[in-house]
Structure 1
């Protein structure tokens, strides 16, 4: 077999392949055998029909087509390996010449990973939010804990802000009661904002047995987004009593003996959360700076496929689970179809560019993924998916997704390497040291995965004639 490669542009090549006919022998034998099992000819046992009879009855062309389709993947793969290219997606194959008994010539055009030059990234500088926990932040955190231990008791008076009311609801659109627009015995805390707009004003001042009607835009259900006439009846009013903020509360609500210890723990937890957010912010901003430094040609077909994949996943998975159509989603978001398409394309370009750049960094920095790092990442992915680690691992192996997970961790390590080399300062001008963070690589892996989105890895496709 002879092959040659022609560069059509930085992201696409054309392979020209010449195959001597004798190299089709195994595929021709397999074609005759396959056809033998599929057809019957009077006078011959099934599977024992001579090749010449198959040629006469069904045509040599059908045999050649079957043989070529069987052989093309191997010839294509051999040509790819010989040319030392990294194909992306499926090739467009064109058989340019097929002479029975003489030769098979074909071309295969395919997108390839572009050559990327990673510049010196040690000069990257970014600014992130400072880690600041105020006394108000601590008080808010303690108040949230306190509210979880609140008690309620029925009262015979008009409902007021902060009270818990038990209500019956009925929603009408265009005068018709919605099938999913009736709810009884709903518990609602006035002022929480957890139900419909306008309900606070409607129930405030009502006693048990009181009724009111108001108009509100529905936030979910079959008529989501539409204005509905909502009738509400209060069946009970209960006052909400918070426990005293003292050492007794600390002992009841936590493992601490004093309120001061509880507040100190709350402050520490808030600091840890903000440090985590700060590290994520640093990784995202360093990645943005890195992408600005690198020129990356984007393969057109890969971009088209990525855009279509993102649209499909949004429309048929995410929105489908919420009972929304794409048109309804765009209406809620206040976006036109053109704006949505432009945003999706922009996100797809960033995702592809991120993957290409970080993969090149993995190669340049010779980064490897240890079994321990892969296992830790798998555990986290399992937790986020709601599956047990064993279930998730089995699904990954059966789906052939292990290389994908390895790639995610490797890209995370590449991003962590750039972050460590960059200068990160907070808004107070203080240098932020992220190297001591034990979760640095996993955080970077999550940041890189968020940037790449649903980007497909480069995989050799098996062509057919």
Structure 2
């Protein structure tokens, strides 16, 4: 075996390797021993046919193919050892010539991450302002939910609930025909056709009307695009919405422990503020991580991207599966999925996620961030606190495995790394003071870890 060519591209090594004849002959003999035992050859008992006979029967190419399953992985490993290259995953191997055997190996190498000057990142979460009209809109929505519909002795207005006898056709063909059908009158609605509600407004009980409407040429339902249905309607009943007044009685009726209207408004305001603050915090975290990635140089082998892409595909599959009522429905849906469109959507997401993961991992190393057993134990205790006491022992056994603790370690380390980046971004001092604070944090963390192990 000899390496005839070696190249490096980003985080991959490309080796061209030629096998020597002795190694190939030995591999072919081993392949012959396997194949002859499972091949029926006329005139010979199974396992007794000489190698030349077997080669003529199955073809030399088949024997070479079988032998390569053994020789290629070993030859590739030997080539990496000789060139002192450490593979970051399984190499891809492609045979480019059979006589002699020459193959190319694409060897993934460890990622290369050079962080930018992340201590210059300065950013803060956006200040959340709760506007009164937003809370007014929430209260209005709750009042609509508690509203009743009562008969109205007047012409139809926007917002009414109207019962109609309806007949319609498109070019003489029956379209929508219903007796006592209820329609919510909404000037913005396109149902059952654009402009339908406007035609009803102003009619009184027992009022009749015949009119034509037209669907836009770019209407979402292609079979209706550009069509002109004719409608004939009769108003059977008109109902108007009666909303409860915004008072204490209304607040108490919501069953959410709001005995007064002021209490309701206060609770809605606080909940909305918390939700907006959470969204602002998420946006802040995403922005500072985006800044970190943009200012850094990140290279990685293609196998890492493929692994991340596969994870995203599996997550998408799980999501689709949860939305389907059966495997048959899932298979029917998947038959319509365009693999190229799926790849064009998920590949960029996979690359972004991978860069974020690598950048944060490098940041954790640069900042000497660690997670001790005491922190993992504390996290487990928090998680168990919400578990019923009679189930805690069983749950604890699931947490107390090497795999589960490693997952918690990664979660806590990611959390700690993000917290560190947030502290840097929100710092008002210079980078030296930030370094000093970090040194103190590391010292305290080390001391806590030493105390926990004593």
Mark yes or no: TM-score above 0.5: yes
For residue 205 of structure 1, the aligned residue among 177, 202, 212 is: 202
Query: Per the alignment, in what secondary structure is the counterpart of residue 86 of structure 1?
Result: coil
Q: 1:284 to 1:240 in 2, by over 3 A?
A: same
Q: Deviations over 1:245-281 (max 9, x none)?
A: 1111111113221111111110110011111111111
Q: How big is the alpha-carbon RMSD for the aligned residues of Structure 1 and Structure 2?
A: 5.4
Moved more, 201-210 or 167-176: 167-176
**Structure 2: which 5+ residue stretches go unaligned?**
324-331, 384-405, 429-454
Q: 1:23 to 1:61 in 2, by over 3 A?
A: closer
**Preserved contact between residue 170 and residue 230 of structure 2 (Cα < 8 Å):** no
**Preserved contact between residue 91 and residue 109 of structure 1 (Cα < 8 Å):** yes
Q: Which residue number in structure 2 is paired with residue 331 of structure 1? A: none
**Hey, which of these two has a bigger chunk of strand by percent?**
1
**Structure 1: which 5+ residue stretches go unaligned?**
327-336, 378-402, 426-465
Q: Which residue number in structure 2 is paired with residue 117 of structure 1? A: 114
Q: Where do residues 242-261 of structure 1 align in structure 2 (5 Å cutoff)?
A: 242-253=243-254, 254-261=256-263
Q: Which residue number in structure 2 is paired with residue 237 of structure 1? A: 238
Superposed displacement of residue 133, structure 1: 1.0
Q: Where do residues 74-153 of structure 1 align in structure 2 (5 Å cutoff)?
A: 75-76=75-76, 83-86=85-88, 91=92, 93-95=94-96, 98-99=99-100, 105-109=102-106, 112=109, 114-153=111-150
**Preserved contact between residue 171 and residue 182 of structure 1 (Cα < 8 Å):** yes
Q: Deviations over 1:9-48 (max 9, x none)?
A: 32432134465654885785356424642x4211223455
Q: 1:140 to 1:168 in 2, by over 3 A?
A: same
C-alpha distance in 2, partners of 1:344/1:223?
Answer: 30
**Preserved contact between residue 127 and residue 424 of structure 1 (Cα < 8 Å):** no
**Preserved contact between residue 307 and residue 344 of structure 1 (Cα < 8 Å):** yes
2:266 is equivalent to residue 269 of structure 1:
no
**Hey, which of these two has a bigger chunk of helix by percent?**
2
Q: Which residue number in structure 2 is paired with residue 439 of structure 1? A: none
**Preserved contact between residue 93 and residue 105 of structure 2 (Cα < 8 Å):** yes
TM-score by length of 1: 0.61
Q: Deviations over 1:189-247 (max 9, x none)?
A: 33484654534423322446645443344998752894443556465432111112111
For residue 292 of structure 1, the aligned residue among 294, 302, 324 is: 294
Q: Where do residues 12-31 of structure 1 align in structure 2 (5 Å cutoff)?
A: 12-17=12-17, 21-22=22-23, 29=30
Q: Which residue number in structure 1 is paired with residue 185 of structure 2? A: 190
TM-score by length of 2: 0.62
Q: Which residue number in structure 2 is paired with residue 72 of structure 1? A: 72
C-alpha distance in 2, partners of 1:322/1:231?
Answer: 40
